[in-house]
Amino acid sequence: MAHSPRGWTGARTPSGKKRVRQAERRAAINGPRVSKAKTLVSKAVKVAAGQAEGDATVALAEAYAALDKAAKAGAIHPNAAARRKSRLALKVGAALAGAAVQTGARATKTTGTAAAAKAAKARIAAGKAEKAKGAQTAAGKARAALAKAGRAEAEAARAKAAAAEVAPKARASRAKAAVPADAAAKAPATKAPAKAAAKPAAKAPAAKATTGKAPAKAAAKPAAKAPAAKATTGKAPAKKAPTKKPE
C-alpha cells in the first residue's frame, strides 16, 4: 500500500491524456452549436404560438439551418437533426392552427401532487367502469339486464327472509304487552302453595324409611350376640388337669 494518499485521479498514460485534451476541445467547439440550435428551435415555436415577435417562416428556416450545421459538424447525429426538424414542423403547424403547444424544453407543472393523484384515481375508476359494462351490443345489454333482474330478485328474497325472522319476535313482544298487570301479579301466588305441598310430600317417605330401618338393626344385634354366648358357655365345663406340687 502507498504511504500517502493519491492526489491525482485522472489519466496517467500519454494516450489517456490525449483523449482528455480532445474531449475538452470538442466540447468547446460543439457546445455552442448545440446550444444555438436548441435556442432557435424554441424561438420558432414561440413565434408560431404568438409568444414572441417575428415571422414564423423565417424562424423555422433559421432553426433548420442551425440543426443542419450542428449535424454537419458532428455536434449531433444526422438522424437526431432530422427527428428534431420533423417535430419542430409539427409543433409550428399546430401553433399556427391555434392549438396549445409546449414552447419550453421541459414541461411545466400545471397541477399539484394531490390534484394529479386525484385525477389519476378518477381515470382508473372510469376505466374500470367501462370494463364492467362489457360489450355495448344487443347481447351485452341483454346479459346486463338479466344480471340486474337477478340481483333484484335476490334482494327481494333476502328482504322476505329478514321479515320472516322478525315476525315471530314481534308477535312474542305483542303477546307480552297484551298480558294484564293483575294476571301477572296473581301468577306467583298460585305457584307458592304447590311448592309448599311438594316439600312435605317429599320429606314424608324419608321419615318412613328411617323408621323402617331402625327395628331391623335392633333385631339383628341380639341375634348376632346369642351364638357367641352359647359358644362361650360350651367351653366353660372343660376342667384343667391337676398339677403336682414338688416335694
Question: Do residues 48 and 37 lie in contact, with contact meaning Cβ atoms separated by under 8 Å?
Answer: no
| Terminal CA-CA length for the chain | 134
Q: Check residue 47 and give its pLDDT.
A: 92
Distance CA 245, CA 247 (A): 6
pLDDT digits (tens, 9 = 90+) for 46-82: 999 888 899 999 999 999 999 999 999 999 999 999 9
The tens digit of pLDDT for each residue in 194-218 reads 454 445 444 544 444 444 444 444 4
pLDDT digits (tens, 9 = 90+) for 111-147: 788 888 898 899 898 888 777 665 567 777 777 788 8
Distance of CA 93 to the CA centre of its chain: 50
Q: b/e for 157-170, b at 16 or more Cβ within 10 A?
A: eeeeeeeeeeeeee
Is the full-model pTM beyond 0.75? no
State the burial class of residue 63 (Cβ atoms within 10 Å of its Cβ: 0-12, 13-18, 19+).
buried
Higher-confidence residue: 184 or 23?
23
Q: What is the mean pLDDT of residues 155-170?
A: 83
Neighbours of 244 (CB within 10 A): 5
